[in-house]
């Protein structure tokens, strides 16, 4: 290797090809994150995806606009190989309501740190005399991706992880390694921890700590709802029936008949106002998992009574 300042590792052709690979990764990641927003329940996760879609779209756009300057077609994405397509297919797969952490881990623990490593490697090798247009893009994209990683990891930490997630991370990293990474040549590690110390994520994180506050429920209603939940757990038919408005009894008890058995705990998880009525959500949980019941309560003299009830969700055990 010569020490001339004009020595370089990338040809125009190679540079164009690698940029198409970067664009493929950014574009597919961006579309996938956009599609996931609706499927993701947790507000901080939903909103962090919403924040980052636009940044990633701009990254794809910057790469796409650089291409014609390298004698290539503008705004073209190209995967490095079929194995990378399979990696992205796998990353996109978790779409269930309880797979938010799997979704975030794929993007924020596997793909984005890998991209940062690959971009940094590229920046170290891009010639400072004739490749500044590429370097400028890398210098913008690297800190943004690093900030995304820092924010995403904070959301993951807040949501908590199960052993399932470690296994998922390994599967994704294996698939990415098999593809040889975003460049296809195995020059950047598939699973890498990047330094996010001191990165400011204040603008990326919304509602990180927000949760339902049970004190928002009027105390007398709260007491009634909790007692009703205990009656449901204990199968106290008389106690349950006493809380239900007489003309709603058939419908409400019919809904309760569909509740799975085995719950040993009850918790109010939501409460909405509908005029003078309250729509309260209660989770019944136990070893077989949990269910959420949505009940509409109405004052009847001094007492609150259930006038409608529905099972609205079920969760498997973590």
Partner 1 sequence: MDRPIAYDKLARENRFVRMRARDVGELRVEQGLAPFPDLASPESIRERVHGIMVGELQAMEGAGRSVYDFPDAPWEFTMDMARQVWDESRHVEIYLALIDHLGGYAGEFPETTILWRCACAEDAAARVAGVNRGLEGLACDVFAQLIHIAKKIGDPVIERAVDFVLADEITHVRMGSRWLNELTRDDPERRRRAVEFQDSIDERFNLGGARRDGAPEEVGISIAKDARRLAGFTDEEIERLIKSTQRSPVY
The residue (of 197 and 213) whose beta carbon lies closer to partner 1 is: 213
The residue (of 163 and 203) whose beta carbon lies closer to partner 1 is: 203
Question: Residue from 71, 97, 136, 249 that binds partner 1 (CB under 8 A)?
Answer: 97
Structure tokens at 68: 């014609």
Q: Rg of the Cα trace of the chain?
A: 26
258 binds partner 1 (CB under 8 A): no
The residue (of 62 and 116) whose beta carbon lies closer to partner 1 is: 62
- E strands, the chain, where? 265-274, 277-286, 289-300, 303-315
φ and ψ at residue 213, rounded to 5 degrees: -110, 110
Binding residue count for partner 1, defined by CB under 8 A: 54
Question: Residue from 36, 84, 108, 168 that binds partner 1 (CB under 8 A)?
Answer: 36
Question: Residue from 294, 297, 304, 309 that binds partner 1 (CB under 8 A)?
Answer: 294
φ and ψ at residue 262, rounded to 5 degrees: 105, 0
The residue (of 56 and 105) whose beta carbon lies closer to partner 1 is: 56
313 binds partner 1 (CB under 8 A): yes
d(CA 204, CA 21) in angstroms, rounded, equals: 26
Residue 119 DSSP SS3: helix
Name residues contacting partner 1, limited to 54-93 (CB under 8 A). 54-57, 61, 64, 75, 92
Name residues contacting partner 1, limited to 259-288 (CB under 8 A). 269-277, 279, 281, 283
The candidate with the shortest Cα–Cα distance to 218, out of 111, 96, 127, 302, is 302
Task: Determine contact, residues 277/296, Cβ cutoff 8 Å.
Answer: yes
Residue 299 DSSP SS3: strand
Contact partners, residue 238, CB within 8 Å, separation at least 6 = none
Q: How far is the CB of 33 from partner 1 (least distance, A)?
A: 8
Q: In which element (H, E) is residue 247 found?
A: none
Stretch that binds partner 1, among 9-17, 24-32, 111-119, 120-128 (CB under 8 A): 24-32
226 binds partner 1 (CB under 8 A): no
User: In Å, how far from its chain's centre is CA 229?
Assistant: 31
168 binds partner 1 (CB under 8 A): no
Q: How far is the CB of 292 from partner 1 (least distance, A)?
A: 6
Structure tokens at 28: 């597919």
140 binds partner 1 (CB under 8 A): no
d(CA 182, CA 177) in angstroms, rounded, equals: 9
- Interacting residue ranges for partner 1, rule: CB under 8 A: 30-43, 46-47, 49-51, 53-57, 61, 64, 75, 92, 95, 97, 206-207, 210-213, 216, 269-277, 279, 281, 283, 292, 294, 296, 312-313
């Amino acid at each position: 290797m010569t020490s001339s300042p004009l020595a370089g590792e990338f040809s125009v052709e190679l540079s164009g090809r690698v940029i198409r690979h970067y664009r493929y990764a950014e574009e597919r990641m961006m579309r996938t994150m956009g599609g996931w927003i609706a499927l993701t329940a947790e507000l901080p996760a939903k909103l962090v995806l919403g924040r980052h879609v636009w940044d990633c779209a701009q990254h794809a756009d910057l790469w796409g606009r650089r291409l014609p300057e390298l004698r290539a077609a503008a705004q073209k994405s190209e995967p490095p190989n079929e194995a990378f397509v399979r990696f992205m297919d796998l990353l996109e797969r978790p779409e269930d309501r309880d797979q938010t952490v799997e979704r975030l881990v794929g993007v924020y623990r596997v793909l984005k740190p890998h991209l940062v490593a690959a971009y940094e490697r590229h920046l170290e090798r891009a010639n400072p005399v004739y490749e500044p247009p590429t370097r400028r893009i890398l210098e913008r994209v690297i800190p943004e991706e690093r900030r995304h990683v820092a924010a995403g990891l904070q959301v993951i930490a807040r949501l908590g992880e199960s052993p399932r997630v470690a296994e998922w991370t390994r599967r994704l990293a294996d698939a990415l390694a098999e593809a040889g990474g975003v460049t296809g040549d195995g020059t950047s590690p598939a699973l890498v921890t990047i330094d996010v110390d001191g990165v400011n994520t204040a603008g990326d994180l919304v509602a990180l700590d927000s949760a339902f506050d049970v004190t928002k429920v009027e105390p007398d209603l709260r007491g009634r709802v909790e007692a009703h939940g205990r009656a449901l757990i204990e199968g106290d038919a008389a106690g349950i029936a006493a809380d239900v408005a007489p003309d709603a009894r058939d419908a409400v008890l019919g809904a309760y008949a569909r509740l799975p058995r085995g719950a040993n705990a009850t918790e109010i998880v939501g409460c909405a106002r509908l005029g003078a009525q309250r729509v309260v959500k209660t989770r019944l949980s136990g070893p077989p998992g949990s269910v959420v019941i949505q009940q509409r309560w109405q004052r009847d003299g001094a007492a609150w009574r259930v006038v409608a009830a529905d099972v609205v969700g079920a969760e498997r055990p973590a």
